[in-house]
Structure 1
Amino acid sequence: MLGDVTIAHPTRPDPFTNRHHAATNRQNGAEDGKALRNAADRKHSKYGTEARASNFTFVPLSAESYGRWGDEAAALLNRMARHMRPPVYMEEGDVEFFRETAVERWWARLSLLLQKGNAHMVRSRAWRASRWNGQERAGFAEGLLLERGPFHPR
């Protein structure tokens, strides 16, 4: 199974000077969940054919910047939970609760990882922008951003 993360930002249709942004915003703001479906469709068109040719299942882990997750990501977590083996001491009636708890825990972890990734991306871009503008790193407000992550400007 292959997975790829995609983030969509649902926006209302605003008049942008860039025609691509204006068209994207009109499409994504037209109906509820449209940005998410468009992002997942783009991932399928980009990777789906090659994944199927290699006998892989491709699942886009798509999420909106406001927190909504895609249907395929939800289906994947629910399918994974069905394959979890509950502890032997657990009674039959508690198995469904066990699986629901596992899915909730996975959603929380995925959401946290997404937030951390976004924060690291913002931090690295802001730091690079401050360097391009000739500002010293000491003047950059690092205390407001994360200190750990994949990008370490040292």
Structure 2
Amino acid sequence: MLGDVTIAHPTRPDPFTNRHHAATNRQNGAEDAKALRNAADRKHSKYGTEARTSNFTIVPLSAESYGRWADEAAALVNRMARHMRPPVYMEEGDVEFFRETAVERWWARLSMLLQKGNAHMVRSRAWRASRWNGQERAGVRG
């Protein structure tokens, strides 16, 4: 199994719009989870054939920048939890609770990593923009 992370932004500007007035991408925002499906479809089309010929399964771990995860990612997390071995001292009735707790912790960790990635992108873009604006004001163009 091969996993590939992709982050979709459902309200990103259309790539084909006029640069002076970037329109909101209505295609991805019009349907529930369409940005996630489009991102997963791109991963399947990019790696699917090669993965199948190598006897691998590609699982796109798609998330929206706002925090929503795709069904394939959720299915993978739940599948991993089902295959977890509980500690030997654990009572039989506590095994399901053990797995549910693991899933909750994984989702919390994944969500935190997504938000940290978003913060990093915003910070780096803000830094680049401020640096560019400083050069523009000083009359320096790169």
* TM-score scaled by length of structure 1: 0.75
Pairwise CA distance, 1:138:
16
Partner of 1:130: 130
Quick one: structure 1 residues 138 and 55, their matched pair in 2 at CA, closer, same or farther if it must change by over 3 Å?
farther
Quick one: structure 1 residues 21 and 127, their matched pair in 2 at CA, closer, same or farther if it must change by over 3 Å?
same
Higher relative contact order, chain-length normalized (CA < 8 Å, sep 6+): 2
Quick one: structure 1 residues 21 and 70, their matched pair in 2 at CA, closer, same or farther if it must change by over 3 Å?
farther
Q: How large is the Cα RMSD of the aligned pairs?
A: 5.0
Cα distance in 1 between the residues matched to 2:13 and 2:135: 35
* TM-score scaled by length of structure 2: 0.81
Q: Is the 8 A contact 2:17 2:23 kept in 1?
A: no
Structure 1: unaligned runs, 5 residues or longer: 140-147, 150-154
1:26-58 C-alpha deviation (Å, 9 max, x unpaired): 321222111111111111111222222222221
Q: How does 1:61-80 map to 2 (within 5 A)?
A: 61-80=61-80
Quick one: structure 1 residues 12 and 24, their matched pair in 2 at CA, closer, same or farther if it must change by over 3 Å?
closer
Cα distance in 2 between the residues matched to 1:2 and 1:25: 30
Quick one: structure 1 residues 127 and 15, their matched pair in 2 at CA, closer, same or farther if it must change by over 3 Å?
closer
The percent of aligned pairs where both chains have the same amino acid is: 96
Structure 2: unaligned runs, 5 residues or longer: none
Quick one: structure 1 residues 22 and 112, their matched pair in 2 at CA, closer, same or farther if it must change by over 3 Å?
same
How many aligned positions are there? Answer: 141
